[in-house]
Amino acid sequence: MNKVVLDTDTLSGIMRQLPAALSSAQAYLSSYSQLTISIVTRFEILRGLSAKKAASQTSAFHAMCQSMEVLPITDAIIVRAADIYGTLHQTGQLVGDADILIAATCLEHGCAIVTNNTSHFSRIPGLSTQNWLTE
């Protein structure tokens, strides 16, 4: 099993304790010491919790992030994201900026993306996808 980055929907599934997501996460953690997310996923989860005014869930999420690797956005990721955007724009298959930034993060770190949104991420050349919510 190669190192992966969790997309927002997968991390949300783990937080909601969905059996398939938990099982896959536990199997992954038998090989790796921690889960990995993009800073964009951290933002998306915090944005949702803030909108719901879910203070206790927000505190729990902050604590959870302390045990995870949170990959920052770097200049190399921005350059790669711009290239991905250009490619998708030329083919008429655009996806949202957040997904492009997460995909660029994965590619810069040589990781697959774990997502339930494989239809969007599979459009990105060179990006491997996994789905822990249906396995």
Looking at this protein, which amino acid is placed at residue 73? I
Q: Is the pLDDT of residue 128 over 90?
A: yes
pTM greater than the 0.85 cutoff: yes
Looking at this protein, which amino acid is placed at residue 33? S
pLDDT of res. 33 = 94
Q: Is the pLDDT of residue 135 over 70?
A: no
Domain boundaries 4-130, corresponding CATH code: 3.40.50.1010
d(CA 67, CA 135): 24
**Residue appearing with tokens 């697959």:** 112
Q: In the structure, what pLDDT confidence band is assigned to residue 65 with cuts at 50, 70 and 90?
A: very high
Mean pLDDT of the chain: 95
Radius of gyration of the chain (CA): 15
Q: In the structure, what pLDDT confidence band is assigned to residue 64 with cuts at 50, 70 and 90?
A: very high
User: Helices (H), strands (E): how many in the chain?
Assistant: 7, 5
Q: Is the pLDDT of residue 34 over 80?
A: yes
